[in-house]
């Protein structure tokens, strides 16, 4: 899928995982991309690898987000695309004794608040800046905005030990719907993706090999575990003109493991 080469995009959390795969897909489609990430080392490496621009950004800070958007706009103009991939939380435990450490009855409230801040409020911070800028675009010249938020299947599945992460990603879905309703009249579309199990090196470091055993054969309807590129391909579609009538929607990317009507 080709994208207008004048299109400028911002990808938060773009230095690794789903974010880096999204940057790669958008660059391959012809877009100019600014990587927002907290880690300067991996951010600069990702920028050099993809031909993107790196802007250090801490989504927990209003000031940092403002500075990152200012740097990105100075480098490549007003963004027409925002993809929010920055986030995280307590890892999905594999044994019951580990799951219990994330249960609501004992999970620390300060950690719960941090996960909400990182995922939901961090996404909110970036949408507010991008949407305000996208309102200045001229739809007569074909300049329309698109936002894609990264949520998770955990937002609707209620996974044990994942109260903070599930609540945070459910908040991202609610935020997506409201942002779509508010910004549609300003020619800005807002959608979300909800990945299931997506294989990457980060997960490999967290989970033992047996966590992945049998997943492709027994759960995935397409016979394999997901890859970051699978999510990036959906994101690339959602920001393209091919999805011009799509807004306020949630796209699952789980290999059929978490189907929703």
Residues carrying an active site annotation:
165
- Tokens 């909800």 belong to 194
CA atoms within 13 A on the CB side of 100: 3
- Which residues on adjacent β-strands are paired with residue 253? 195
Return phi, psi of residue 16, to 5°: -160, 170
The full DSSP string for 61-121 is -HHHHHHHHHHHHHHH-S-SEEEE-----S---SSHHHHGGGSTTTS-HHHHHHHHIIIII
SS3 54: strand
- Tokens 């897909």 belong to 25
Question: Rounded to an integer, what distance in angstroms lies between the CA atom of residue 52 and that of residue 19?
Answer: 12
Encoded tokens for 19: 């974010």
């Amino acid at each position: 899928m080709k994208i207008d080469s004048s299109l400028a995009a911002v990808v938060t959390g773009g230095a690794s995982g789903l974010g880096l795969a999204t940057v790669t897909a958008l660059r391959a489609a012809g877009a100019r991309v600014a990587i927002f990430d907290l880690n300067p080392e991996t951010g600069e490496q990702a920028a050099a690898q993809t031909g993107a621009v790196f802007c250090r950004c801490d989504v927990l800070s209003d000031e940092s987000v403002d500075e990152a958007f200012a740097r990105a706009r100075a480098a490549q103009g007003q963004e027409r695309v925002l993809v929010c991939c920055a986030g995280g939380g307590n890892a999905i435990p594999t044994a019951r004794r580990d799951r219990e450490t994330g249960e609501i009855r004992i999970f620390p409230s300060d950690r719960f608040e941090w996960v909400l801040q990182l995922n939901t409020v961090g996404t909110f911070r970036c949408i507010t800046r991008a949407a305000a800028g996208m309102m200045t675009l001229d739809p007569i010249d074909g300049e329309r905005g698109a936002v894609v938020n990264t949520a998770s299947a955990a937002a609707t599945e209620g996974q044990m030990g994942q109260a903070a992460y599930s609540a945070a990603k459910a908040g991202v879905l609610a935020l997506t719907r409201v942002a779509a309703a508010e910004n549609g009249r300003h020619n800005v579309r807002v959608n979300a993706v909800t990945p299931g199990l997506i294989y990457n090196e980060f997960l490999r470091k967290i989970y033992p090999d047996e966590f992945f055993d049998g997943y492709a054969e027994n759960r995935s309807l397409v016979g394999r575990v997901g890859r970051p590129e699978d999510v990036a391909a959906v994101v690339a579609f959602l920001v393209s003109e091919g999805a011009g009538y799509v807004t306020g929607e949630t796209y699952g990317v789980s290999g059929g493991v978490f189907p929703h009507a």
